[in-house]
Amino acid sequence: MTPTTPTAPATADASLTAARARSDLLAATIDDPGAPGRAGLRVLTGDRPTGDLHIGHYLASLRSRVTLQDKGIETYVIVADYQVITDRDAIDSVRRDVLSVVTDYLAAGIDPRRSTVFAHSALPELNQLMLPFLSLVTDAELRRNPTVKDELLASDRPLSGLLLTYPVHQAADILGVHGTVVPIGADNLPHVEQARVVARRFNRRYAAGQEVFTEPTALLTDVPLLAGLDGRKMSKSRGNTIPLRASADETAALVRGARTDSERLITFEPERRPEVANLLRIAAGFLDRPAESLAEEIGDGGAAALKRVVTDAINDGLRDHRRRRAELVADPAYVLGVLREGNARARSVATSTLATVRAAMGMAY
Ligand code: TRP
């Protein structure tokens, strides 16, 4: 390495800046009905079904997916069931969790006539794409992926081949259905960056420069990352959040148990008072107003008043979602039918992608 080589953090900053610029440009295209290329955009995003979706998913991703769909952008949503076993052994609740996730998609307003919801495991073509894609990445690239490193540390297990190759199977999710718009939080950005590299290298190495794959673009959410009610990372498995399926009373009890501090005057100071700031952000997200003004309004009402505001904001904000959710839970055959139809639609796209890949590689016999 020469002394002029940028240090790792500088490189990461530069690529984050570039990704943000691409994301802003894409957002502008999406918002301009006459923009060239807009009609060809296809959203691919999804979730790892490790449990019930919660208010963090609702505020950071579910709402914006529905908005994209309603703006007329073709939308594919993957329930990445194989990703469940990247960092844990337990698979016994996967079927229940997949159906719970699909139920929340539908309750949030994902419309199966316009959007395609599918399970990774229903598309064997995605797994077959893994092999040529694996040939396009190096061991060093995989090992320095910061998200893989974080998940490894959090998992308390040795690094499995599946966790190491996380960015490659995610590239197959995206490229297998020709997703070009990938709405994600910054934590998934390294995977989308890797998918861009895979697309570029595939075209160059195996397709003589022909554009078999379009480099996907991350659409970065501007919703701040919410912490859990205990101040740690919000996570389905830590039980420190509010699942969308919780009732109004369960929500109130969970908020009551949230960690705060003993200062009576409520202020929005994320550095000094992270727990209070986090609760304010949750309420602000559901009320669609700035956390600062909410804090001012609560004033010296203390933690009790803050928690009342948060509980009401969540329960009012989720009222329609929960009503639709209850109707869907009463009709499991419908939910399963939506998934099966989505699986078939996504599979026909992935089948044709794989056929193109095999033809490009001279493997069509
Ligand atoms: N890894 C994503 C998560 O943990 C879920 C996911 C799987 C995904 N495949 C994807 C997201 C493709 C975007 C694009 O939330």
Distance (Å) from CA 288 to ligand 1 centroid: 26
Distance (Å) from CA 45 to ligand 1 centroid: 6
Query: pTM for the whole thing?
Result: 0.94
Instruction: Answer whether 172's CB lies under 8 Å from 192's CB.
Output: no
pLDDT of the residue at 11: 61
Q: How far apart are CA 311 and CA 81, in angstroms?
A: 32
Sheet holding 42-47, edge to edge: 115-119, 74-79, 42-47, 181-184, 217-220
Smallest CA separation from ligand 1 atom 13, residue: 45
User: 3-state class of 227 per DSSP?
Assistant: strand
- What percent of the chain shows pLDDT beyond 70? 97
Smallest CA separation from ligand 1 atom 9, residue: 170
Q: Could you tell me the two tokens for 165?
A: 């190759």
For tokens 């075209």, name the residue: 203
Q: Assess whether pLDDT exceeds 70 at residue 1.
A: no
pLDDT of the residue at 2: 38
Q: What rounded mean pLDDT belongs to the chain? A: 93
Tell me the sheet residues that pair with 47.
79
Smallest CA separation from ligand 1 atom 2, residue: 47
pLDDT of the residue at 185: 86
- pLDDT digits over 100-136, tens only? 999 999 999 999 999 999 999 999 999 999 999 999 9
Extended strands (E) in the chain: 42-47, 74-79, 115-119, 181-184, 217-220
pLDDT of the residue at 9: 52
- What percent of the chain shows pLDDT beyond 90? 87
Tell me the sheet residues that pair with 181.
43, 217
For residues 201-219, average pLDDT: 97
Q: How far apart are CA 22 and CA 306, in angstroms?
A: 38
| 48 CB near ligand 1 (under 6 Å) | yes
For tokens 């493997």, name the residue: 363
For residues 246-272, average pLDDT: 95
Highest mean pLDDT among 4-13, 218-227, 303-312: 303-312
For residues 302-316, average pLDDT: 97
pLDDT of the residue at 357: 98
Enumerate residues 6+ apart whose C-beta is below 8 A from 105. Answer: 62, 65, 77, 117
**Residue from 23, 43, 45, 121 whose mutation best tests the ligand 1 pocket (most atoms within 8 A of CB):** 45
| 45 CB near ligand 1 (under 6 Å) | yes
| 182 CB near ligand 1 (under 6 Å) | yes
| 163 CB near ligand 1 (under 6 Å) | no
| 174 CB near ligand 1 (under 6 Å) | yes
